[in-house]
Structure 1
Amino acid sequence: MAEALNARVPADWPGPDFEPVLPLLLDGFMREPGHDSWDGAIILEGGERVVIGAMGLKGGPDKEGTVDIGYNILPAYQNQGYASEMARALVAWAFERGDIQKVIADCLYDNQGSIRVLEKVGMKRLYQDGNLLHWSLTREEWEAAQHQS
């Protein structure tokens, strides 16, 4: 992995949240190597390139144009704005595609870091289902927020 990414891969990457997803992503890349990538590693550049997390959309848009965003940042790199920066960039990229009308997400009700990230991106909390909070951001809401800033 380090050679393919040309980056140092910490021993604790991909982490417990992303580890089960990694084989599925690799299988998808093998089956459709030319397909637009919805997922990727987050690489911190500077003196040394290092993998600090992963982010992506959980599949392509459904028939209503909705995609589900997911992300993780290794503990040593949390609370430094990396997830917010990457989530904002991923949402912008998604809406630039033209076929996406809504981005959704979920997180655990007590995951304050993820809650802050989703709020910073402009997502609206919809409801709680058990331990999960569900969030949404429409293209119109995103565009309106971009015109205000």
Structure 2
Amino acid sequence: MEIITERLLLVPCSLDLIKSLAIYRKELEKRSPIKIPSDWPSTDLIGMLPYYIEKLECDKEEFGWGIWMIILYEEKRIIGDIMMRGKPVEGVVEFTHHLIQEIQDESIAFEAIEAMIDWFIEAQSIKSILTECNSNDEQSIRLLERLGMKCTLKDGAFLYWELHHAA
């Protein structure tokens, strides 16, 4: 299972890969044909690794509904991730995304998330896609608006976004 775009390869993290990231990172960096930057995964994602290990060990169908790597294909290096909060519930999926700090090109984030949204809708029959961002994150706000998402709620420092797709 993978998604290929013009510049990117999106690949879900397997149980073995997540365990290697959590436990054997140095060895994984040496052996991986894909360059793993020092600032990936983010500290938020690192904190979630034990949770995803447990989810995948308990339910094989969770594969594909957790962490996906965003790989810059030509350079064969990880540049970020898209993280789902588990299998869809009643046609609704939630996700967050993160790019490594050196990637400032908004078009890369757009390309990755647009491909993921297309996969949600076409391959998985998802009806609603949810995400959130910080209310002062202008780059994410522009990106989510450009993707056609609508801000549905402001709660303190967070904005909540939705995209609905009619079947």
Aligned residue pair count = 139
Partner of 1:83: 109
1:112 is matched with: 138
Which range moved further: 94-103 or 107-116?
94-103
Match of 1:18 in 2: 45
Assess if the C-alpha contact under 8 Å between 1:17 and 1:72 holds in 2. no
How far residue 5 of structure 1 moved from its aligned partner, in angstroms, is 5.5
Tell me the distance in 2 between the aligned counterparts of 1:58 and 1:9.
23
Give how far 1:12 is off: 1.1
Match of 2:96 in 1: 70
> Which residue matches 1:40?
68
Gaps of 5+ in 2: 1-27
Give the alignment's TM-score, normalised by structure 1.
0.81
Query: Match of 1:19, SS?
Result: helix
TM-score (norm. length: structure 2): 0.73
Q: Which residue of 1 aligns with 2:22?
A: none
- Secondary structure of the corresponding residue to residue 103 of structure 1: strand
The residue number in structure 2 matching 1:147 is none
Structure 1 outlier segments of 4+, above 6 Å: none
Secondary structure in structure 2 of the residue aligned to 1:70: strand
Kindly state the Cα deviation for residue 21 of structure 1 after the two structures are TM-superposed.
2.0
- Which structure 1 segments of 5+ residues have no match? 144-149
CA apart distance, 1:25: 2.4
* Cross-structure match for 2:56: 29
Deviation at 1:79, TM superposition (A): 2.7
Does the 8 A contact of 2:40 with 2:80 survive in 1? yes
Mean CA deviation greater in 66-75 or 21-30: 21-30
Q: Is the 8 A contact 2:152 2:161 kept in 1?
A: yes
Separation (CA, whole Å) in 1 of partners of 2:165 and 2:102: 33
Q: Give the secondary-structure state (helix, strand or coil) at the position aligned to 1:20.
A: helix
Q: Does the C-alpha gap of structure 1 residues 82 and 58 become closer, same or farther in structure 2, counting only changes over 3 Å?
A: same
- Larger RCO (CA under 8 A, 6+ residues apart): 2
- Work out the CA distance in 2 between the residues paired with 1:66 and 1:77: 29
**1:56 has 2:83 as partner:** yes
Structure 2 CA distance for aligned equivalents of residues 128 and 50 of structure 1: 35
Q: What's the CA shift string for 1:42-71, capped at 9, x where partnerless? A: 11111x3111101032111113x2111211
Aligned AA for 2:149? M
